[in-house]
Amino acid sequence: MPSKVSALVSAWAAYDPVADNPWFSWDYLRQNYGTLLAALREHLLLTLAAVVIAALLAIPLAVLAYRFGRLTGTILGVTGVLYTIPSLALFAVLAPYTGLHASTVLIGLVLYALLTIVRNTLTGLRQVPADVVDSARGMGYGPAALLWRIELPLALPGIMTGLRIATVSTVALVTVGVLVGFGGLGNLIIGGFNANFYRAQIMAATLACVGLALVLDLALILIGRAIMPWTRRRPA
């Protein structure tokens, strides 16, 4: 009996949980490359769709708030309230009507991205120099031409800032979509926790999520530099 006990003690002492369940494994990446790629694709598509739809809704709302000051409080208030709704509660409310589909996640992501884009677009419009606006009006620009040719181009830095913040935050929020089965990389993260805390899967999905956020942010920075050449620093 003592020999069995000592053998168990020796086996336990020799057990290395990190070695048996490492945080990073090339074998896991090779064996699950297709699964990771599919989750990353779903994550990317949900993020891009949510940000594009949110921008198409938020920028006109910001223009309305800018043109009609009395609407500013209402627009910011409604988008602010939507932003404060917990994601768990929001999906619970949407699921009975939209079902367990990607559209449920997409609606939630769009609602969360509205506030950031509205605020930054409105800030950018308000920072357009008044003398530039007056000069354009003196040259005969009407409200529509003034908006499209003067105000929105000069507000682009603020708009791009809002898009960058909304994109990065949306990448993180997509993972919550695992509640309805469409969480992109979040499905792998939760799956790793459920599979006896499978560290390699958790870490691979987490790194892919962080990498996706960095790549999209860099892409928006490059797009901003391309469409706003006047913001580039002149060489010393």
The domains found in the chain, sorted by start residue, are 37-184 (1.10.3720.10)
- Predicted confidence (pLDDT) at residue 235 exceeds the cutoff of 60: no
Higher pLDDT, 49 or 90: 49
Looking at 68-198, list the stretches that DSSP marks H as alpha helix, in order from N- to C-terminal side: 72-84, 87-98, 102-126, 130-138, 143-146, 152-154, 156-174, 185-194
Handedness of CA 135, 136, 141, 142 (dihedral sign): negative
Report the percentage of the chain scoring pLDDT > 70: 85
Question: pLDDT (tens digit, 9 = 90+) per residue, 4-43?
Answer: 445 444 444 444 445 567 676 767 677 777 888 888 899 9
Q: What is residue 95's predicted lDDT score, i.e. its pLDDT?
A: 80
Residue bearing the bigger pLDDT, 177 or 43: 43
pTM of the model: 0.83
67-110: pLDDT as tens digits: 988 999 999 999 999 899 888 788 888 888 887 788 888 999 99
